[in-house]
Chains A and B, each alone.
Chain A
Amino acid sequence: MTAVLAIAAIALCGAAVTSPFLGRGALRAVMALLLGIGIWSGAYATALFVFGADGRTLLAKDALLAAGGMAVLCLRHRRPTAAPSVERPGTRPRRRWLWAAVAAAAVVATASFIEHVLRYPDGGWDAWAIWNLRARFLARAGDGFGAAFSPELLFWAHADYPLLLPGVVAQGFLLAGGEPLWVPAAAAYAFAALTVVLLGAAARELRGPGWGAVAALALLATPCFVGFAANQQSDVPVGAFLLAACALSAMAVETGRPRLLALAGAAASLAAWTKNEGLVYLLALGIALLAVRWAAFPDRLRGVIRFGCGALPVLALLAWFKLRVAHVNDLLSQASLEPLLDARRWAELFGALLRRVVFFQNWSLWLVAELVVLIAVVPRLPPRASSRVLALAVALALSATAVVYVLQPHELVWFVRASADRVLVQLWPSIVLATVLSLAAPVAAAGSR
């Protein structure tokens, strides 16, 4: 019964927040599920910090989410809804071989995921040392859950990391009445699958169904995407929320519906509630929406204000968590700006990053192909505001990450090896979307689908 209520809470609150912005269709469904999971976890953390870990509180939280979602949907039912995703003439999937390739890739990716999870049921090092550890603290400790953020835990536990993923897994443990290994694995698979479907649906919405298949295929066949998903870490979830924010921003820019930016802000804030990098991505996307000329400046400013308003509730939770609960981040705990002036450190960083670009084991040839497209193809195509917004956001995010790499106290090459692929995999779905938006003409202007 409690599991049914939890599923209803996710589905109804997700549907409620997306229905004013998106028409019926695959994109709205997948966006609703993803944001519903994020809201469900954010509400859990809020209830935990405000009312404590009592089981009845969590039950009431789910009941409130489900009832609130249902009420919003009923009210919306009386009003005209957002324009449904129209199945445009000539945009039905015609290239069956392409969809067959996507299906085959999904089978290989799922089989690889299952193999990895069976072999390493506790996930990768960071999964059990950080994310599933935190979920265990939250699920096991009851009202003593504050121990999860004890300053006496070694820095490897990263007590300052936000709680979206541990919140999902901990609630899964509580609903299951134990700690079955399938709970974090199922959460990891759900986030990965939602990312693939969201990418395909967003590319389809903006460029047509063939492009949706191309985008989904590119992500499914990226070796480290499956690996990091199976490792049960938070990189794929943060990438999913960033992708949602990017897709909604691109839709706002291309369709002239700036109110979509409020939902984009909410999605970006859930990325920030998933991992510290998510806050950087939120800021980068906000700056890009203001800087790229996709509308007159006052309209862009209004759009960014909407983006900020959408982000505000979760950012308030994050700010409270960072100020009252979380402790100093190890990466910036000994921050001195001196390394920024060290040319050798920058050279070391770029050398190590270049190695990741050609790191076949994790990326196959995808990053090389992406660079070729950026250098040789994109400059010959007409500039498109939506892809420029996403490209600038990714560039800003990578630049900020490079600064953190130079400043952080760990041995640089080791740190890049340990983390650069994970940062890239967080951005990769959004990079694929931005690339598709660059390469293909918008649906109305395109001749070839």
Chain B
Amino acid sequence: MTGLPLRTVALAVVVLAWIGLAREAWFHFVSEPVWTLPSATREPRPEERYGPVRAALPPAGRVGYLSDLPVAASPAARTADDYGTWLYQQAQYALAPVVLVHGESRTDVVLANVKDPEHVDALAHAYGLRVVERFHGGAVALLRP
């Protein structure tokens, strides 16, 4: 035997492909119901939280970043709840080419990005900063020395 007959392999692959495509279709059209797609596309994208902030920040350079949630700054610092890390990354994605420097409070302007808007003032106080502008219901704020 120099090789398997094409017909045998093709039949096996078609059966496997049918199962694979059924799984693919199940996930994309049933598990995530396709009829919810129109409403899903209308939902605000996470980075819209930072739209007005972008206009208030310098166009480039370093900007300090503070939060009331832990941000994993090294592989060893990962936490079970990665919401703080996700918030930082979303902010960085939205605000590039500004470089958000996590934990830095000595830049001209500092971005506070918090889960609870009531934490902004305490955060500013802890770092000796004052709140100059609030966005997104107070969950995002610009702080200055």
Contact = CB atoms under 8 A, between A and B. Distances in A.
A230 to B, nearest CB: 9
Contacts of B72: 154, 156
B109 to A, nearest CB: 15
Contact of A440 (B3, B17, B29, B90): B3
B28 A153 contact: no
Contacts of B85: 154, 156
Interface of A: 95, 98, 101, 104-105, 108-109, 111-112, 115-116, 118-119, 121-122, 125, 128-129, 132-133, 136-137, 140-141, 144-145, 147-148, 150, 152-157, 208, 210-211, 213-214, 217-218, 220-223, 226-227, 330, 333-334, 360-361, 364-366, 369, 377, 380-382, 408-411, 414, 439-441, 445-449
Given A147-B97, A445-B2, A361 B27 contact: yes
A367 to B, nearest CB: 11
B51 to A, nearest CB: 13
Interface of B: 1-7, 9-10, 12-14, 16-21, 23-25, 27-29, 32, 34, 37, 40-41, 45-47, 60-62, 71-76, 78, 85, 88-90, 92-93, 96-102, 104
Contact of A137 (B2, B18, B97): B97
Contact of A115 (B5, B32, B76, B102): B32
Given A122-B45, A128-B93, A409-B75, A214 B19 contact: no
B60 A441 contact: no
Contact of B78 (A141, A210, A226, A411): A411
A116 B75 CA distance: 29
Contacts of B13: 214, 217-218
Contacts of A369: 12, 16
A333 B40 CA distance: 40
Given A156-B89, A221-B16, A210 B10 contact: yes
B46 to A, nearest CB: 8
A98 to B, nearest CB: 5
Contact of A381 (B4, B6, B20): B4
A105 B17 contact: yes
B97 A366 contact: no
A255 to B, nearest CB: 18
A222 B20 contact: yes
29 contacts: A111-B28, A111-B29, A119-B37, A119-B40, A122-B45, A125-B89, A128-B89, A140-B96, A141-B96, A147-B96, A154-B72, A154-B88, A154-B89, A155-B75, A213-B10, A217-B13, A217-B14, A218-B16, A221-B19, A221-B24, A364-B19, A364-B20, A365-B19, A377-B4, A380-B1, A382-B2, A408-B75, A441-B2, A445-B2
Given A141-B97, A144-B60, A221 B20 contact: yes
Contacts of B89: 125, 128-129, 133, 154, 156-157
Contacts of A377: 4
A154 B70 CA distance: 13
A439 to B, nearest CB: 5
B20 A440 contact: no
Contacts of A153: 92, 99-100
B60 A223 contact: no
A108 B21 contact: yes
Nearest to B88: A154
Please provide the 9 A-B residue pairs with the shortest distance between their CB atoms, ordered closest to farther.
A221-B20, A221-B17, A141-B97, A441-B3, A364-B20, A441-B2, A112-B28, A409-B75, A210-B6
A377 B1 CA distance: 11
Contacts of B32: 115, 119
